[in-house]
Amino acid sequence: MAGYLARRAGSMILVLLGVSVLVFLIMQLVPGDPVRTMLGPTATAESIAAVRADLGLDQPLVQQYVSYLGGLLQGDLNTSLTMAQPVAEIVFPKLGNTIILAAGALVICLVIGVPLGVLAATRQYSLFDRGAMFLSLAGASVPVYWAALVVISIFALKLGWLPTSGMYDVREPGGLGDLLRHLVLPAATAAVVPTAVIARLTRSVMVEALQQDHIRMLRANGVPERQIVWKHALRNALPPIVNIVGLQVGYLLGGVIFIEVVFSWPGLGGQLYTSITSNDMPIIQAGVLFIALVFVVVNLIADIVVALLDPRTREAVG
Amino acid sequence: MTSTTLGQKVVSPVAAGDTVAAQIKSRSRPALMWRALRRDKAAVVSIGILVFLTLVAVFAPLLAPYDPLDGDASQRLEGIGTPGHLLGLDGQGRDILSRLIYGGRYSLTVAVLPVLAAAPIALLIGMFAGYFGGRTGNAVMRVLDVLFAFPVVLLAIAIAAVLGPGLANVMLAIGITMVPYMARVVYTATVQESAKEYVEAARAAGATQAQILRQQLMPNVMSPLVVYGTSLCGLMIVLAAGLSFLGVGVTPPAPDWGVMTSDGRSVLLEGYGHVATIPGLVILVAALAFNLIGDGIRDALDPHKQTS
């Protein structure tokens, strides 16, 4: 187990190094000169050259990358081109807000997606199964930005149950209740696609798990069906479910861009969108980098959970 | 023996050969797949829907009642069922039905073309890495691992943002994003297939590497790629319209379905839901159709589910 962990962590570091190279290179590919954009059309050649030297942009590419990586490791993410503020100060609070949104969505996915898949598997080919699976396929095809507009128009505008946008009330901000009220619609919308994907996968692995010999054995021994399904079969079906949940976190972290833009949620996705429109490369770099970092770490955790669920690897630990 | 010695009806060998050949032909992979797919009602309906949407887009100038770009400001935001405008008008007084009809030209192309273009590249990378393996193959897959660290939507948005908006750029962004995912599917299939006896047999019979790759492996790794590619088209139609929705894809006033949904967003808070709802529904239906076909093809190729 320890060896496995070390190997996984090692490959994760390699992947993250690759990610940093790619993100660094993306900035080099951007058409137009960021310094010229930053200083505006009236800038003189001297002032542009001075700022370039100041930012180290006149150095060779490899050297620029090394100093970029060095800064990264010390938490220095450069300065925003449009907000004259260190990128770290902008990105970290927003990353926190995005994680709140994604976590809320993930809870909904797990609470609905897994039981739906299990129930469909136990009633294979029934009306419930067919209905649930068609709904899941439809759910997986939903354009999330459209779903966001639809839920706003129904639950916020027509029924007036929940706020249309933001994270806290503008007039009386604060409190967990306020946050939860603002979280419901965006989190539920973000959860639609991953819930559908998780339900479909859960069904297919559960169908397989329920056909295994030891399950038939348990049935023959008179173990209650509920216990067979939720304890024994689900346990065997868990590893692929955990893996797909890890991958769906990636979908959530990407998809929240749409959610945050439509619901004006003050997260990293919305910030990325603003920075893309204003061409603020240091923020785009940092935002993309941190979303990738969270995604890679979540998948590492998922792999570890899968390893722990498997008795063969688990025994190797203790 | 061609004589009819015992008065039996004997089919000449030539004719018999023809029948066998015809039978074999009718059992070719696409034919078998189609036979299985034909029984899947959902897939057949989905194919019908996509053919319909495609034909409507192709013949848009003949079918659209109005110019998709010309608006009548006096009628702006009139709802569904307005006389002369079946689906109503948008914020600039443009006929929504006409825009939808023309919109398929953008939205369907942007979703399907990049997947088609990415497929051969992915086939090349995946088969190369999967068949030759070793250090080079491993290195290729490690590079792809780096790309998997980015959520798909984020990678597509980042690339589209770097390239700038526009039809060609958004297709390029989606194509680049898709290559690693499709290559991984090909890679996995190639590794599995390479270990099978028929490849060993071909090698023993003196087939060259190129022959094994092209004649033995390629037909067998195509199936998972086709299944995956079809489902990807469903995802991509949603993603491509999403890029346009964010303003990094097809540029307004082009009647792309994503652009139309985005147009509807600004008037939604004023209570005009139809402008955004209608194009979004069309995106959903088209994506669902691709996904149902993808499911149908997968089942059709699954030997456990084939009954004949």
A200 vs A190: CA distance, rounded Å: 17
Residue B159 has pLDDT above 90, yes or no: no
Residue type, A65: Y
Q: Measure CA A151 to chain center.
A: 21
Only one residue has tokens 């009819």, namely B4
User: Per DSSP, what are the bridge partners of residue A79?
Assistant: A86
Which stretches of chain A drop beneath a pLDDT of 50? 317-318
Interface test with B, best of A17, A125, A146 (most B CBs within 10 A): A146
Residue B185 has pLDDT above 60, yes or no: yes
Contacting residues of B for A133, CB less than 8 Å apart: none
pLDDT (0 to 100) of residue B282? 94
Position with higher pLDDT, A315 vs B253: B253
Residue from the list A15, A141, A145 with its beta carbon closest to the beta carbon of B145: A15
Position with higher pLDDT, A19 vs B80: A19
Q: pLDDT (tens digit, 9 = 90+) per residue, A92-145?
A: 899 999 999 999 999 999 999 999 999 999 998 899 999 999 999 999 999 999
Contact B146 A273 (CB under 8 A): no
> What is the mean predicted confidence (pLDDT) over B186-191?
90
Residue B138 has pLDDT above 60, yes or no: yes
B268 vs A153: CA distance, rounded Å: 7
Contact A273 B246 (CB under 8 A): yes
What's the Cα-to-Cα distance from B264 to each of A269, A273, B101, B269, rounded to whole Å? 21, 19, 17, 9
Contacting residues of A for B153, CB less than 8 Å apart: 251, 254-255, 257-258
Please list the alpha-helical segments (H only) found in A57-143. 61-73, 87-122, 127-140
Position with higher pLDDT, A176 vs B235: B235
> What is the mean predicted confidence (pLDDT) over B269-297?
89
Residue from the list A153, A276, A296 with its beta carbon closest to the beta carbon of B273: A153
What 8-state DSSP symbol labels residue B65?
S
Whether the CB of A43 is below 8 Å from some CB of chain B: the reply is no
> What is the mean predicted confidence (pLDDT) over B180-198?
90
Contact A138 B146 (CB under 8 A): no
Q: Are B298 and B224 in contact (CB under 8 A)?
A: no
Contact A251 B153 (CB under 8 A): yes
Q: What part of A 67-126 touches B (C-beta under 8 Å)?
A: none
pLDDT (0 to 100) of residue A33? 67
Q: Are A197 and A246 in contact (CB under 8 A)?
A: no
Contacting residues of B for A297, CB less than 8 Å apart: none
> What is the mean predicted confidence (pLDDT) over B240-249?
89
Residue B7 has pLDDT above 50, yes or no: no
Whether the CB of B24 is below 8 Å from some CB of chain A: the reply is no
Of B5-9, B52-56, B180-184, minimum mean pLDDT range: B5-9
What 8-state DSSP symbol labels residue B150?
S
Residue B85 has pLDDT above 60, yes or no: yes
B169 vs B159: CA distance, rounded Å: 9
Residue from the list B143, B265, B288 with its beta carbon closest to the beta carbon of A138: B288
pLDDT (0 to 100) of residue B1? 39
Kindly report the backbone phi and psi dihedral angles of residue B19, in degrees, each rounded to the nearest multiple of 5, phi listed first: -60, -45
Residue B14 has pLDDT above 60, yes or no: no
Q: Are A155 and A161 in contact (CB under 8 A)?
A: yes
Mean pLDDT of chain B: 84
Which tokens sit at A230?
A: 């939720």
Q: pLDDT (tens digit, 9 = 90+) per residue, A235-244?
A: 888 888 998 9
Contact B149 A257 (CB under 8 A): no
B124 vs B114: CA distance, rounded Å: 16
User: Per DSSP, what are the bridge partners of residue B95?
Assistant: B89
Q: Are A139 and A190 in contact (CB under 8 A)?
A: no
Residue B17 has pLDDT above 80, yes or no: no
B56 vs B48: CA distance, rounded Å: 12
Residue B5 has pLDDT above 50, yes or no: no
